[in-house]
Amino acid sequence: MADDDFGVGKRASELAKEIIQKGLSEDLMWFTQVRCDDIIKHQDALPKLRKSGLRWILLGVENSIQSTLETFRKNITPEDAKKAVKLLKKNDIFAQAMFIIGERKDTAESIAESRKFIDELDSDFVIFAILTPFPGTELFEEAKKNGWIEDSNWANYDMVHSIMPTETLSRKEVQEELYKCYRSFYGSWKRRLQGSFSRNELKRRVYWHMLSRGILKQLRGLF
């Protein structure tokens, strides 16, 4: 089943209750995407959700700079992300953070600060992505109007390939920054060992998969 706007509020709590009452929680694992502030708002429900089989949550952290979060209209703060990750770990729920680089004002220095923030956040897993002007969005219209789009190959609109530069970084430099983000987080031998031998089964499986597939090497080959 899929639901683009599920969260961890009343609906999730009701679902968890039914799963537990019907004795299905031992045979079920479920995943959802949640806003950081929703985790904080509904933190009292997390133990029940975990008991029902909620094992993995994707958090929309997006960025570590408040002005960038406001540009994204996220209505959250970097502190919300830190609190949310701590709450998920406390309840043995795998915490995956989604992070975006390449906003128009991004610089090498601001992205370096973001890497430092991600290290401090210490989520179980992070997906870094490049801001992409998808057709039909306000960003696409703004980028098209201002001539920012330098790649019109739709196959590259996957949030991994750089489509447009920032004010100070070329497309190639943005691409390189993406690799630096992954290398900074997953290149740490301490983090690799902790992940590979974590007591959290999901974390172990994810890290062993990344090691076996050589994910960092594949990302390096993008430029």
The pLDDT value given to residue 218? 61
pLDDT digits (tens, 9 = 90+) for 167-177: 999 999 999 99
3-state SS of the chain is: CCCCCCCCCHHHHHHHHHHHHCCCHHHCCEEEEECHHHHHHCHHHHHHHHHCCEEEEEEEEECCCHHHHHHCCCCCCHHHHHHHHHHHHHCCCEEEEEEEECCCCCCHHHHHHHHHHHHHHCCCEEEEEECCCCCCCHHHHHHHHHCCCCCCCHHHCCCCCCCCCCCCCCHHHHHHHHHHHHHHHHCCHHHHHHHHCCCCHHHHHHHHHHHHHCHHHHHHCCC
CATH class of the domain at 10-178: alpha beta
Longest CA–CA span in the chain (Å) reads 57
Q: Is the pLDDT of residue 220 over 70?
A: no
Ranges of each domain in the chain = 10-178
- pTM for this structure? 0.85
pLDDT band at 22 (very low <50, low <70, confident <90, very high): very high
Contact predicate 96/89, CB 8 Å? no
| Percentage of residues of the chain with pLDDT beyond 70 | 93
Quote the mean pLDDT of the chain: 90
pLDDT band at 114 (very low <50, low <70, confident <90, very high): very high
Q: Is the pLDDT of residue 215 over 70?
A: no
Q: From CA 134, how far away is CA 67, in angstroms rounded?
A: 22
Q: Is the pLDDT of residue 217 over 80?
A: no
Tokens found for residue 158: 């996957």
> Is residue 18 left, alpha or beta, with left meaning phi > 0 and alpha meaning psi from -120 to 50?
alpha
pLDDT band at 8 (very low <50, low <70, confident <90, very high): confident
